[in-house]
Amino acid sequence: MSSRGAQHNWRGTLRCKGVASSSMWTPGSRTLRCGISRASLVRASLACLRLMLERFPEVPHVCQLSGSCLPIKPIADLQAHLERHRDIDFIEAVSVADDPWVVDGLSMERFTLYHPLSFRKHRKLFDKNVQLQRALKVKRKMPEGLVPHIGSQWWCLSRKTLSLILTDPQLPEYCAYFRHTWIPDESFFQTLAAKHSDRITSAPLTFVRFDP
Helix (H) or strand (E) holding 61: strand 61-64
Angle among Cα 155, 1, 143 to the nearest 5 degrees reads 60
Give the pLDDT confidence score for residue 8 in this predicted structure: 37
User: What torsion do the CA atoms of 165, 20, 78, 72 make, to the nearest 10 degrees?
Assistant: -120
Q: Is 91 helix (H, G, I), strand (E, B) or coil?
A: coil
Phi-psi region of 159 (alpha: psi -120 to 50; beta: other; left: phi over 0): alpha
Amino acid found at 203 = A
Q: Are 196 and 165 in contact (CB under 8 A)?
A: yes
Q: What are phi and psi of 88, to 5 degrees?
A: -110, 140
DSSP states of 162-211:
HHHHHT-TTHHHHHHHHTTSSSGGGTHHHHHHHHH-S-EE---SS-----
Give the pLDDT confidence score for residue 7 in this predicted structure: 38
Give the pLDDT confidence score for residue 73 in this predicted structure: 86
Eight-class DSSP state of 57: T
pLDDT > 90? residue 197: yes
For the stretch 15-73, pLDDT in tens is 444 444 434 444 454 677 788 888 999 999 999 899 889 988 988 999 998 878 888 88
Angle among Cα 7, 16, 193 to the nearest 5 degrees reads 70
- Helical ranges in the chain per DSSP H: 39-55, 75-84, 109-112, 123-135, 159-166, 171-178, 188-196
Confidence label for 204 from pLDDT (cuts 50, 70 and 90): confident
pLDDT > 90? residue 138: yes
* CA-based end-to-end distance of the chain: 26
Instruction: Give the number of other Cβ atoms within 10 Å of residue 83's Cβ.
Output: 12
